Structure 1
C-alpha cells in the first residue's frame, strides 16, 4: 500500500537511507515480527522495531515486571504488570501505524513452532539457554528466520539464524553451541549481574538486523557472530560455519 503523506514525514529519515527508499519502508510496513521476551533485550529491540514502522509486532512474555528488572528493562514503568501487555501499551503509544499483538504466556516447543509460521521473522530476546535452545530448535524445524542474542555481565553476542550463508547453509544455535550447557555451567545475570546499557546495545543490534532483513538492505549478520566486550569497549566478530 502506498505511503500516506503523514507516513512519508514520519519515516523520512528511514527513506533517506541509501538502499531503503520508499520501497524499503513499504516492505517494513507490510512485514511481521514475533519477539519472544519483553525484558532487557526486548526493551531495546521492540521500540526501534515499532518506531521504524514494522507493521505487525507480536510480544510473547509470561513474566511480570519486578523492581529488580527496572535497571535495564526500560520498556516498562509499572510494577506487577505482565511484560507483554506493558510493552504493547508503550509501542502503541510510540507508533499508531503498528499493529501490536499480545501473547502473555511462556512458550512451549509446540506452541513456538505453531506461532513461528505466522511471522516473517522471530527475535529471541530470552535470557536462559533452555529457552534459547528450545526456540532455535523450533525455528529450525519450521525454517523460520531467527535473530538470536545473549547478554550477561558486560558481554553480549548476536547473530542471524535461518538465512542461507555464503555456502547455502541455514545455521542455527546448535552450529554455535552443539549441546545445551547444563545449568550451573555458564554465568547468569543472577550470579554476575548484567549492565543495562550493554543489554540495550545488543537489543538495538537485534532490531537493526531485523530491519535490514525485512527491508532488504545491507548485509545481514549471517555466518558471523558479533561479540561485545563492553568492559573493554570493543566489538569483535566470530566466523560461524555449519557444524552438523
Structure 2
C-alpha cells in the first residue's frame, strides 16, 4: 500500500526500518525530515555515518579537518583513498550510498564558537572524535546552545557511549562534565597511539551511536539518557552504568 508522503521507491528502500516495532511509516518520515551533524569521520564516524545515511536521515553534516593516512585504514573503512580530506571523502561515499540524503561537508577543525554556530543548524550532534580536548569542546558547545549529543569514545578494546542534552528521569540535561568533570592531563589516560585500537571494536561503538541517533530522531525506544554503556571487547562484556548530574 502506498503512502502519500513516501514514494514507492522509499517504501521499498526503508521497508525493514518501517517494519521495526515502534518505527513505522511515521518514524521513517521523521528520519527523512531530520538532520544530524557528525564531528569526526574517522573510526567512529566510519561506522556511524553509513548507517545514518542508509537509514534515511534526511540531512547529514560531516565535519573533519584531517586527511586519510595509511595507518587509518585498519579501522576507518569509510575511506578508500589516501591523502583526501575525511569530510569530503566521507560525504562522497554517503551520497553514493543513498541519494535520498543531503550531505553537507565541512573540511575543517572547529573551535568553540564555530561549533556553537554549526550545532544550532541540526537536530542532533554526534561526537565521533578521538581526543579529550575535542570531546570537551563539543560537549561544552552543545551545552551552551542546548543541543542533543550522542557521545562515544573507543580505545584499545574498550568503548563507551551515552546520550547527552536530553532530560533524564529527574529533568536534568547531562553532558560530558557530569561524567568527567575536567579534561585529564596528557599522559593520564590511554591513547590509541600508546595501546592501539581494534577496528572492529570501534565499529561496534560507532554503530551503537547510530542506533541511539535513529531512536532519538525517529522518536521511539529508550535512549541512553542517564546511562553509559561500556564495552569490554576483550572479555566480551557490555555493562550499563548510571549517570547523574554532577553536584
Distance in 2 (CA, whole Å) between partners of 1:16 and 1:197 is 28
| Structure-1 residue corresponding to 2:41 | 38
**Are 2:199 and 1:202 equivalent residues in the alignment?**
no
Partner-residue secondary structure (3-state), 2:115 = helix
* 1:188 paired residue number: 191
**Other structure's SS at 1:160 match:** strand
Alignment: residue pair count: 244
Tell whether 2:169 aligns with 1:166.
Answer: yes
2:76 aligned with 1:47: no
Alignment of 1:140-179 (within 5 A): 140-179=143-182
Give the corresponding residue for 1:212. 215
Give the Å deviation of 1:190.
0.2
Partner of 1:15: 18
Shift of the alpha carbon at 1:184? 1.0
Greater than 2 Å deviation, 4+ residue runs? none
**SS of structure 2 residue aligned to 1:150:** strand
Residue in structure 2 matching 1:97, options 90, 100, 111: 100
Give the secondary-structure state (helix, strand or coil) at the position aligned to 2:215.
helix
Cα deviation for residue 76 of structure 1 reads 0.2
Say what the alpha-carbon RMSD is for the aligned residues.
0.6
Deviation at 1:183, TM superposition (A): 1.0
In the superposition, the TM-score normalised over structure 2's length comes to: 0.98
Once the two structures are TM-superposed, the CA of residue 101 in structure 1 deviates from its matched residue by 0.3
* Counterpart Cα distance in 2 of 1:193 and 1:15: 39
The alpha carbon displacement at 1:12 in A equals 0.1
TM-score relative to the length of structure 1: 0.99
Q: 1:65 aligns with which of 60, 63, 68?
A: 68
Long gaps (5+) in structure 1: none
Stretches of structure 2 that go unaligned for 5 or more consecutive residues are none
SS state of the match for residue 231, structure 2?
Answer: strand
Query: Are residue 223 (structure 1) and residue 229 (structure 2) matched?
Result: no
